[in-house]
Amino acid sequence: MEKIKNIVFLIFLCSCKISSGTNLFDPNSPVSLGLLLLGSDKVIQMDFSSNKVQPGGILYISTNHDFSSNSNGFSLPISDEGINPIKQVITRSKFLYEVRMNPSITNGKFTFNLKDYYINEALIVNPETFQFEIDANPPLLQLKTGNGIDISELQSGFLDIEANEDIVWEGNLSQVSLSGNAKNSLVVSDVIVSNRNIRLLFAGNPNANGGILSISLEGVKDKASNTQGTLMVPVQVFAFKSGPNMNLPRRSCGGMELDDGRKIVLGGRARSGVVINGNGTLSSMEYYDSVTKEFTFGPDMVYRRQEFSIVKLLDGRVLVSGGFGAKVGVGPNDSLSSIEIFDPVTNTWIEGPSLHTPRQLHKMTVLPDGNVLVVGGLNPFPAFQTVSEVELIHVTPNPADMTVEYIGNLAESRAKQAQIMSTNTGKVIITGGERSDITGPASTDYYARAIDSIELYDIQTKTLSTSSAKVVRRFNHFMHPTLNGEILILGGISSRFDDNQPILRAQIYNPSADTIRDHKNLLFGREWGTSFVFPYGKDQIMIAGGLEYRTVNGNTFDSILDTESWSESSQHFYLTGRSLNARWDGCDLPYTSTGGGMILGGRIGAIVANTEEYSFE
């Protein structure tokens, strides 16, 4: 049997030549298969974005192996003694690394000796060595929209790759190759080349789960006809994929990524019939491990709460306030004024001071000095009435020393508003929301409506003022900052009653000029949805899930499966992929480190425990 193995291996090895300095290795090739037949350890494929880099430039390396499980992590040993051109290696994901070069090293050739290092790790690496050159002006290629895209952009048929200078390239299909776990059956069907742009036209299907797509282009030359060899453009292909179930089904919950990389989901309302601590409102917290893809219970909050507000403090702790619930083991639910803080170092919840006014469905904003502004909300008893009081939580290392300061009243009380910190102006921007006024003594005696006002909190003077600009009347909407300091306002609905209509019109508010202008229309008007910012280098926002009211009188609604994105560079909304479930009233957990995130629980008919992840891993 051993003789047969060796013969198979020699046949496969002779059939494939691996050149050094490039990465033509395919982990599904006969060579890889032969090594596996011999019982060898895993073959590690590395793709280098270029064999030439500028002083202080960036080299990308994508791999098919998760180095976080290695004893020494990811390393790039250099065989040239006394020379280290690497300034910093940044882990962008388990499979993508950004290598920043030392700007003080302006020329020369350097070699990564990967074989000697990784043989000690019991790994077989291709290439075994990799030589690169410091070049003051190499041709560099990058994806036009940044290195992160939605899977629908591959399915739509083409991608544009831009060069930093004029290039000379024949554009033959044989000079383009695709690799990486996002490839699947995707192939390049045609190439259109101009002086500084390469448009690749695709056929086939990418991996539905997304991943890394490495686009390698051979024979690219600069304007002096100096050959660049093989250039690789790493593309992070984002897609929705099914995540594990939480231990408990929940809606109206909260999610947060901690500074140490852990992800948590907490609170909310359990599925009908589920009673924990004597109530269906939850105090539980769960950790999500993105490596093992499992949820495990963490420490319970001091209070059970739903429809609360959650923020991450500047020191990495998590602060929650208000909501609907009660202290664990005590009495029926009511609107809460309590504050509690989670310390990720000690993994404990500690109760802090109370707000002056109980509230739920309110908003909090962390200010540059670390304090937390609390705005609006709803008090449900005896009838639904919105809160006008604005309060400031003075954050200290010891929760027992924290205090709450009354700031003043909003001109219009509101809940379900959107608010965001404008660093350019030093103001918190508070837009729209739902106002509810009591009309009588019964629990149903209230009048609710969407409002159009914008109010501003000045962090220097600690004063409130009303903007002269108006938003389209909306609540349960989104706001996102743009690269130039403006604010995109989108989504939401106009009413809770039969006259409700979805708000398709997006708007852009300029906080410096205190002006607002109409923008493009969303493809779907939605509320109770989720929005994610794309990864670094990307100017897009993903909007997913939620409800759309489809009838003329607004009393019938559908949950939304289709997702859409907004591009700041092209200033328009466009249809992207689809989420796996049409859900609403769940909670979202944005990944601040890599972009994308998770959608957890919510309602798909009943309250559910399932999750889905929007990422490239």
**Interval 37-76: pLDDT, tens:** 333 346 788 888 777 788 888 888 888 888 877 767 788 8
Residue 437 token pair:
């006024």
Using CA atoms, how far residue 70 sits from 43, 65, 121, 600, in Å, is 14, 10, 8, 31
Give dist(CA 525, CA 495) in Å, integer. Answer: 13
Biggest CA–CA distance in the chain, Å, is 91
CB 71 within 8 A of CB 65: no
Cis peptide before 127 (omega within 30 of 0): yes
Burial class (CB in 10 A: 0-12, 13-18, 19+), 227: middle
Tokens 């559910």 correspond to what residue? 608
Could you give phi then psi for residue 572, rounded to 5 degrees?
-155, 160
Cβ partners under 8 Å of residue 462, min gap 6: 392, 407
- Nearest CA to 532 out of 448, 600, 462, 614 is that of 614
The domain 141-238 is placed in CATH, from the list 3.40.440.10, 3.40.190.10, 2.60.40.2890, 2.60.40.1220, at 2.60.40.1220
Give dist(CA 323, CA 256) in Å, integer. Answer: 17
In 293-402, the DSSP E strands lie at 294-297, 303-306, 309-312, 318-321, 324-327, 334-335, 338-343, 348-354, 363-366, 372-375, 378-379, 385-386, 389-394
Give dist(CA 257, CA 263) in Å, integer. Answer: 4
Task: Give residue 609's region: left, alpha or beta (phi > 0; psi -120 to 50).
Answer: alpha
Name the helix (H) or strand (E) containing 37.
Answer: helix 30-37
Query: Is 198 strand, coil or helix?
Result: strand
- Nearest CA to 288 out of 20, 600, 550, 74 is that of 600
Length of the chain, please?
617
Using CA atoms, how far residue 574 sits from 153, 269, 482, 518, 526, in Å, is 10, 33, 17, 17, 15
Q: What is the dihedral of CA 116, 117, 122, 125, to 10 degrees?
A: -80
CB 214 within 8 A of CB 62: yes
Name the helix (H) or strand (E) containing 329.
Answer: none
Residue 64 token pair:
């098919």
CB 201 within 8 A of CB 192: yes
* 408: β partners: 390
* 194: β partners: none
Q: For residue 34, what pLDDT is reported?
A: 31
Q: For residue 40, what pLDDT is reported?
A: 39
CB 64 within 8 A of CB 617: no
State which residues of the chain have pLDDT below 50: 1-41, 535-537, 551-555
Helix 2-14 and helix 30-37: axis angle, to 10°?
Answer: 160
Cβ partners under 8 Å of residue 559, min gap 6: 545, 546, 547, 548, 582, 583, 584, 603, 604
Indicate the pairing of strand 211-218 with strand 176-179: antiparallel
Task: Give residue 436's region: left, alpha or beta (phi > 0; psi -120 to 50).
Answer: beta
298-310: b (≥16 Cβ within 10 Å) or e? bebbbbbbbbbbb
Residue 19 token pair:
């050149």
Please report which residue ranges of 84-205 form alpha helices under DSSP H: 114-120, 151-155
Residue 487 token pair:
């604010």
Give dist(CA 5, CA 248) in Å, integer. Answer: 50
CB 473 within 8 A of CB 432: yes
Cβ partners under 8 Å of residue 224, min gap 6: none
